[in-house]
A and B are shown apart, each in its own frame.
Chain A
């Protein structure tokens, strides 16, 4: 190990100093001079978007990687030496999917040398704690995402560790499971245990006792998350009562020098200002102070969000709204054998608006999405995209839409230029049209320097831009977005939605599936899908006020709303085997 072993402060179970880690072929170091300390008795948050260096840091602490520079001390020694007292849950939980819940626990108990006489007591405690007792004999691979994650945690806890490393335990898991897991970890906290919780969700960061904020390998902030939140106090406001469309207002506001950041929240626009008095004395809207969030502080540290006007939208054609809606679903039902994946889903999306399909994993939103893309034939019901019926003219319907997914939508082995040319061809653009389209998006998304780079090696933000660029090459009137910005840093996410907002103003209709609540705020209308059924529909504000009544909440967030509605839906049905059972299906 290079350097001397640093001496951690009193009560710290792990400590790193000035860590540097380079990977071959990468433009920037994965970690660049990061220092961190994990004290006992609290949850230390390691926060940052994908690719920030969180996993690398955790792996170094687990002794699975060696740093290039800097020093590491874990439980008073070199990392990887005393693994009996370190619990580690990797991103994919480290479970053997072809073994049962019990077999997984047995294996980890033996690996960590849990004394035989403590076995049964420990297992029953952990199984009760994770609510997995009913599933002892189920294969781990047949568990739902949330249950796998709990089993992963149980496996990391078979022998009570002194240091618990959790690498993005909340990723790919619905908000309810995330909350449950958070509560479980809170319960574990004792004087003898230090927990490092890594996350890309900034709302999780707010709940940590102290956080380390990473971005592209650099430490942007460390300390009490409230400190960062406080730094923007008085400067976060909510605008309401304007007559113009909210997206127009946001665009205009973002173009002002004095506005650092802005997002849409239901009918209102939320702004982070340079000075509290920036908007003083202006009319046309009402200003109310808003609750500052950790994310506001993060954005300010990153140098603010993007400006409001989208070059992509400026150059985009005006979509001539035809008669009827842009996207229509009428009683869409899809059955796989006995299992109904989506039941009687109906909605319609006019041109110039965003519609959101929300729901936990496996609820049926992907099935609905695939039916509308023409990738699955509905068992019952019908659908249309840009006036083309999916059954009779599926090909034309597909030609009218642009599709973008956060994952899997690009060819990682091809260069940026090859990807763009391929998608231009795939969308039926030829010759000069194709060339112009590729040049246009190259300029707008500033891809010029990277045309020859292999798409798979691009930083995440650029992959995101490239994916959007490929989806809009043929200027489609309808855009389908599948979890477009999960895991992306907040600045890139804002940039993405800035483009989408601009396109919507040009008349484009957007359908988005997400379990990421911030994305839901951008929608004009939402339908919440749970257990294959639409359990609620409406504008974000309507849903929030419904949830406020249902769960007696004051000013609920989108996430509160989501959870309240799912819990209400569960309460209505007979409690045979609870939520977990249906999730696993």
Chain B
């Protein structure tokens, strides 16, 4: 047998893989159309900021303070308020899902307020959508408190509170969820290409019987594996570049770090992603099973356990422990750092190291299961 890796055979295999990718429309779909779709989804449609929550105001009192309070709700950009004279019509609207909460200003609000002892304002939230309910509750509460404080200040009764609390959100001053969702979406895209797409390629060779023919040539298995990695690596990086370009130009996500840092962490993440995909493919030898395993072990953990959608620190301890074996857990914060904070190498380097370790682990597994044998 000749040398371990023969350049001519390797380049022929890579060329073959590229020709197959170019001819297969689904590869193009997953590498370029799907990322666009995901970016638009996370950039526009999915928005964790709740603006324009529709609520109803049951204005049972028509005194000046009651009207002023109702006006405060109506003028707040977070709410879109409809007003009614009683709770009943609003209840029906809530049942139909047209509004998410009701603020009840009781009929003796004005007189009570004048006595300095206003009756409680009732806030009803639609518990069937807990997130929105929480948001409605806390915002309504906050708004009520602010109004009370303003009214009190206007009457000069109780001037400014003794401590002035001044809030600043760093890195994402406007707290726009798009700014951390879009970098996270890049992680999803890389997982799709790295793991899902590559999980199919070796399984496909087994299914179509071409694996057998290739093994009966002087080809070395290392050449075979490399020929599967190189094209998808390039494809994934190209897709990342496209996503970054769109994120910055279309969605106005800041890129505070360098392109170099972005490529470094992406490359590091592609190692475990590709390794996992190839390992699944080589171990299952069946495209259907491979795609299912890739979705369950690659895509879903990246989506749920990487800190992309849900903050890891607010997960139960056991789930937090599990996140440590999800490579994307090290990639998503790195991406968010590079986009929103900058090249914080002290934070990036350990993550890069861990991702490379995962990659090495998957490739070792891959070499173990990819034998030049049909036994």
- Complex CA distance for A63 and B12, rounded to whole angstroms: 23
Among the stretches B174-182, B209-217, B290-298, the one at the interface with A is B209-217
| A66 CB, min distance to chain B CBs, angstroms | 6
Docked complex: A57-71 residues within 8 A CB-CB of B: 59, 62-66
The residue on A at minimum CB distance from B223 is A111
| B12 CB, min distance to chain A CBs, angstroms | 3
Which residue in B12, B209, B218, B374 is a CB contact (below 8 Å) of A91?
A: B209
A68-90 to B contact mask, C-beta < 8 Å, 1/0: 00000000000011011010111
B213 touches A94 (CB 8 A): yes
* Residue A249, interface by CB 8 Å: no
| B157 CB, min distance to chain A CBs, angstroms | 80
- Complex CA distance for A292 and B15, rounded to whole angstroms: 53
* Residue B375, interface by CB 8 Å: yes
Among the stretches B16-24, B57-65, B233-241, B267-275, the one at the interface with A is B16-24
Contacts of B210 in A (CB 8 A): 94-96
- Complex CA distance for A80 and B6, rounded to whole angstroms: 17
* Residue A288, interface by CB 8 Å: no
- Complex CA distance for A89 and B210, rounded to whole angstroms: 10
- Complex CA distance for A62 and B209, rounded to whole angstroms: 15
Among the stretches A102-110, A233-241, A406-414, the one at the interface with B is A102-110
Interface size on A, residues (CB 8 A): 34
- Complex CA distance for A103 and B22, rounded to whole angstroms: 13
A494-509 to B contact mask, C-beta < 8 Å, 1/0: 0000000000000000
* Residue A335, interface by CB 8 Å: no
Contacts of A99 in B (CB 8 A): 16, 19-20, 23
Docked complex: A274-325 residues within 8 A CB-CB of B: none
Which residue in A59, A83, A97, A107 is a CB contact (below 8 Å) of B16?
A: A107
The residue on B at minimum CB distance from A167 is B212
* Residue B9, interface by CB 8 Å: yes
* Residue A189, interface by CB 8 Å: no
B24 touches A88 (CB 8 A): no
* Residue B314, interface by CB 8 Å: no
- Complex CA distance for A65 and B373, rounded to whole angstroms: 6
* Residue B219, interface by CB 8 Å: yes
* Residue B208, interface by CB 8 Å: yes
* Residue B368, interface by CB 8 Å: no
A106 touches B374 (CB 8 A): no
Contacts of B208 in A (CB 8 A): 92, 96-97
A94 touches B214 (CB 8 A): yes
A112 touches B218 (CB 8 A): yes
B216 touches A84 (CB 8 A): no
- Complex CA distance for A165 and B215, rounded to whole angstroms: 14
The residue on B at minimum CB distance from A67 is B375
The residue on B at minimum CB distance from A84 is B218
Contacts of A91 in B (CB 8 A): 209
- Complex CA distance for A110 and B218, rounded to whole angstroms: 10
* Residue B129, interface by CB 8 Å: no
Known contacts: A94-B210, A98-B23. The answer to whether A62 contacts B16 by CB under 8 A is no
* Residue A550, interface by CB 8 Å: no
The residue on A at minimum CB distance from B12 is A110
Instruction: With a 10 A CB-CB cut-off, give which of B11, B12, B209, B212 has the most chain A CB atoms.
Output: B212
Contacts of A64 in B (CB 8 A): 212, 215-216, 372-374
* Residue A113, interface by CB 8 Å: yes
The majority secondary structure among interface residues of chain B is helix
Interface size on B, residues (CB 8 A): 28
A111 touches B9 (CB 8 A): yes
Known contacts: A64-B373, A90-B212. The answer to whether A103 contacts B217 by CB under 8 A is no
The residue on B at minimum CB distance from A90 is B212
The residue on A at minimum CB distance from B16 is A107
- Complex CA distance for A81 and B218, rounded to whole angstroms: 8
* Residue B95, interface by CB 8 Å: no
B20 touches A96 (CB 8 A): yes
The residue on B at minimum CB distance from A59 is B374
Contacts of B23 in A (CB 8 A): 98-99, 139
Contacts of A155 in B (CB 8 A): 213
B217 touches A92 (CB 8 A): no
B9 touches A110 (CB 8 A): yes
| A86 CB, min distance to chain B CBs, angstroms | 7
A65 touches B374 (CB 8 A): yes
Contacts of A86 in B (CB 8 A): 216
- Complex CA distance for A64 and B12, rounded to whole angstroms: 22
Which residue in B19, B20, B218, B372 is a CB contact (below 8 Å) of A111?
A: B218
The residue on A at minimum CB distance from B24 is A98
The residue on A at minimum CB distance from B1 is A81
- Complex CA distance for A86 and B374, rounded to whole angstroms: 17
A83 touches B8 (CB 8 A): no
The residue on A at minimum CB distance from B216 is A88
Docked complex: B90-147 residues within 8 A CB-CB of A: none
| A491 CB, min distance to chain B CBs, angstroms | 29
Contacts of A110 in B (CB 8 A): 8-9, 11-12
Which residue in B12, B20, B215 is a CB contact (below 8 Å) of A106?
A: B12
B180-220 to A contact mask, C-beta < 8 Å, 1/0: 00000000000000000000000000001110111111110
Instruction: With a 10 A CB-CB cut-off, give which of B209, B214, B215 has the most chain A CB atoms.
Output: B215
B218 touches A88 (CB 8 A): no
A98 touches B9 (CB 8 A): no
Which residue in A90, A92, A93 is a CB contact (below 8 Å) of B216?
A: A90
A66 touches B375 (CB 8 A): yes
Contacts of A80 in B (CB 8 A): 372
Docked complex: A220-236 residues within 8 A CB-CB of B: none
- Complex CA distance for A98 and B216, rounded to whole angstroms: 20
Contacts of B16 in A (CB 8 A): 96, 99, 103, 107
Contacts of B24 in A (CB 8 A): 98
- Complex CA distance for A99 and B213, rounded to whole angstroms: 15
- Complex CA distance for A428 and B23, rounded to whole angstroms: 47
Contacts of A107 in B (CB 8 A): 12-13, 15-16
B216 touches A63 (CB 8 A): yes
Docked complex: B1-58 residues within 8 A CB-CB of A: 1, 6, 8-9, 11-13, 15-16, 19-20, 23-24
- Complex CA distance for A108 and B214, rounded to whole angstroms: 9
| B336 CB, min distance to chain A CBs, angstroms | 39
The residue on B at minimum CB distance from A109 is B12
- Complex CA distance for A326 and B19, rounded to whole angstroms: 53
| B106 CB, min distance to chain A CBs, angstroms | 67
Please give 10 more A-B residue pairs, beta carbons under 8 A apart, in addition to A81-B1, A103-B19.
A59-B374, A64-B372, A64-B374, A90-B216, A94-B212, A95-B213, A107-B12, A108-B217, A111-B217, A113-B9
B residues apposed to A, CB below 8 Å? 1, 6, 8-9, 11-13, 15-16, 19-20, 23-24, 208-210, 212-219, 372-375
Q: What are 22 A-to-B residue pairs whose CB atoms are below 8 Å? A: A63-B372, A64-B216, A65-B374, A65-B375, A86-B216, A88-B213, A88-B216, A90-B209, A90-B216, A94-B213, A98-B23, A98-B24, A99-B16, A99-B19, A103-B16, A106-B12, A110-B9, A111-B218, A111-B219, A112-B217, A113-B6, A165-B216
